């Protein structure tokens, strides 16, 4: 049977991804090899358990695939143990709680509006409902983590887990500082590197290895793999983590995803991936400079990584109308809270920008002033509700991108 309804929609989405400047910081383009592994017959197979210890027969080829993914993860990140089965970043984090904490335990993470993730104890998340969350912030004046506050909160609340990482942090995460505090209060440090895993693999961000007891990551952001996740740790926590993922939280692993993770990890170990990771950061820096020159305020005043958080307060417009205007102009972003936002979460003051996807497309620092120009023109057009100007930009974006095949 041919399902032309779904086929046509996928084809249209393919075209959309070709024609738009994709600047959502958590998104990327995967290679054809990753795509093909994801779309393979491995999706037909059940394999609850771990290599060599399965509850179903017929694992002759599945076991070596999972072993390959595990070995590649261990060698790429330099860790003692890797579990490649978590379905995605959120369930991976839930497995960490299940492995190391009891309901009602105190857990610490960065508050969501400050750049943290829901699963670091935010109240609407299961992690905030079932555990006692303590949330740290960033400093008002610098937009950066205040380690005096983190230490004070940790000493007072004695958390079981401390999460370092988030979804809207434009600056280098100081894992050694977090580790020092975790040691002082006998907490386990969980480095959630979902956003920056590819930068770490490519040597463009310091690694948490040797500092964090547990490392949690998605595989589909800067790491440029399929939608999935991994948990990495030292030998001490290996058993607890494996038990928490299966049978604690999940059933059969998604073998097509496991294979695609193995492919992505193989790609990330190539010298060309180091070049990619460095280019992602170079592009973000160049874009930040060009935006500042055009009068934009950036949270923390710039970026060290793949991500920029625009604070539009000074422009007299909210993040949502700007994100909508940018979308019409062929530039895909998301509206985002900024630290100490005075507007509501569903209509906040910020827009988050990322360079991972456009760097995969082949864009370099040379195009970043042009990108900043488009963003600036789109904000002006949004202020004047000038849809025609937005459509003009979308045409220019399409023209530029036609020279950069996926």
Residues interacting with ligand PLP, by CB under 6 A?
Answer: 26, 88-90, 93, 117, 119, 165-167, 192, 194-195, 218
> Which of 26/255 has CB closer to ligand PLP?
26
The active-site residue out of 19, 36, 46, 132 is 46
141 exposed, middle or buried (CB, 10 Å; 0-12, 13-18, 19+)?
exposed
> Which of 117/306 has CB closer to ligand PLP?
117
Give the whole-angstrom CA distance, residue 175 versus residue 191. 8
Active site residue 398: no
Question: What residues contact residue 269 under an 8 Å CB cut-off, 6+ apart?
Answer: 72, 75, 76, 201
Q: How far is the CB of 382 from ligand PLP (least distance, A)?
A: 27
The active-site residue out of 66, 192, 311, 341 is 192
From the CA atom positions of the chain, what is the Rg in Å? 21
Q: How far is the CB of 329 from ligand PLP (least distance, A)?
A: 25
Query: How many beta carbons lie within 10 A of that of residue 180, not counting itself?
Result: 14
Give the whole-angstrom CA distance, residue 269 versus residue 54. 29
Q: How far is the CB of 12 from ligand PLP (least distance, A)?
A: 24
Active site residue 55: no
Tell me if the bond preceding 180 is cis, omega within 30° of 0: no
> Which of 91/369 has CB closer to ligand PLP?
91
> Which of 49/89 has CB closer to ligand PLP?
89
Give backbone dihedrals phi and psi of 249, rounded to 5 degrees, phi first: -125, -30
Q: How far is the CB of 74 from ligand PLP (least distance, A)?
A: 21
Q: How far is the CB of 20 from ligand PLP (least distance, A)?
A: 21
Structure-token pair, residue 90 = 């959120």
> Which of 171/315 has CB closer to ligand PLP?
171
Query: How many beta carbons lie within 10 A of that of residue 59, not counting itself?
Result: 20
The active-site residue out of 45, 72, 171, 221 is 221
The active-site residue out of 54, 74, 151, 227 is 227
Q: How far is the CB of 163 from ligand PLP (least distance, A)?
A: 8
Q: In what order do the strands lie in the sheet containing 161-164?
A: 81-83, 229-233, 214-218, 188-192, 161-164, 106-110, 132-136
Torsion of the alpha carbons at 184, 160, 114 and 26, rounded to the nearest 10: 110
Q: How far is the CB of 192 from ligand PLP (least distance, A)?
A: 4
Closest residue by beta carbon to ligand PLP = 89
> Which of 117/361 has CB closer to ligand PLP?
117
The active-site residue out of 48, 180, 278, 297 is 48
The active-site residue out of 20, 218, 219, 355 is 218
Inter-residue contact 319 to 351 (CB < 8 Å): yes
Locate tokens 């998340």: which residue?
125
Q: Identify which of 31, 32, 12 has the alpha carbon closest to the alpha carbon of residue 20.
A: 12
Active site residue 227: yes
Active site residue 221: yes
Q: In what order do the strands lie in the sheet containing 350-354?
A: 297-298, 307-311, 350-354, 334-336
> Which of 86/319 has CB closer to ligand PLP?
86
Angle value at C-alpha 240, between 238 and 246, nearest 5 degrees: 100
Q: Residue 255, Cα to own-chain centre: how many angstroms?
A: 22
Q: What's the helix, strand, coil split of the chain in %, to 5?
A: 50, 15, 35
Residues serving a catalytic function are: 46, 48, 192, 218, 221, 227
């Amino acid at each position: 049977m041919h399902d032309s309804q779904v086929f046509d929609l996928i084809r249209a989405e393919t075209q959309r991804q070709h024609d738009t400047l994709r600047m959502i910081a958590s998104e990327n383009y995967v290679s054809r090899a990753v795509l093909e592994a994801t779309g393979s017959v491995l999706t037909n197979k059940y394999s609850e358990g771990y290599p060599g210890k399965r509850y179903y027969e017929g694992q002759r080829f599945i076991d070596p695939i999972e072993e390959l993914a595990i070995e590649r993860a261990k060698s790429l990140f330099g860790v003692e143990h890797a579990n490649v089965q978590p379905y995605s970043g959120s369930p991976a984090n839930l497995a960490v709680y299940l492995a190391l904490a009891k309901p009602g335990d105190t857990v610490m993470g960065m508050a969501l509006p400050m750049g943290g993730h829901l699963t670091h104890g935010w109240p609407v998340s299961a992690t905030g409902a079932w555990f006692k969350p303590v949330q740290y912030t960033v400093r008002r004046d610098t937009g950066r983590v205040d380690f005096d506050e983190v230490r004070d909160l940790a000493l007072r609340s004695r958390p079981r887990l401390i999460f370092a990482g988030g979804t809207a942090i434009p600056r280098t995460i100081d894992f050694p500082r977090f580790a020092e505090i975790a040691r002082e209060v006998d907490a386990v440090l969980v480095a959630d590197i979902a956003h920056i895993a590819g930068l770490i693999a490519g040597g463009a961000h310091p690694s948490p290895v040797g500092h964090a007891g547990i490392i949690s990551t998605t595989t589909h952001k800067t790491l440029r793999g399929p939608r999935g996740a991994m948990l990495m740790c030292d030998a001490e926590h290996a058993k607890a983590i494996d038990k928490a993922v299966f049978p604690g939280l999940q059933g059969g692993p998604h073998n097509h995803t496991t294979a695609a993770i193995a492919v992505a990890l193989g790609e990330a170990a190539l010298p060309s991936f180091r070049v990619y990771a460095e280019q992602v950061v170079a592009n973000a820096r160049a874009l930040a400079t060009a935006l500042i020159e055009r009068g934009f305020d950036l949270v923390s005043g710039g970026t060290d990584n793949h991500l920029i958080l625009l604070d539009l307060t000074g422009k007299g417009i909210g993040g949502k109308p700007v994100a909508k205007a940018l979308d019409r102009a062929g530039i895909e972003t998301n509206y985002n809270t900024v630290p100490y936002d005075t507007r509501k979460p569903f209509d906040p003051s910020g827009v988050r920008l990322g360079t991972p996807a456009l760097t995969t497309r082949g864009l370099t620092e040379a195009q970043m002033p042009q990108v900043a120009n488009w963003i600036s023109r789109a904000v002006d057009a949004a202020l004047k509700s000038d849809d025609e100007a937005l459509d003009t930009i979308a045409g220019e974006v399409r023209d530029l991108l036609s020279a950069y095949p996926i």
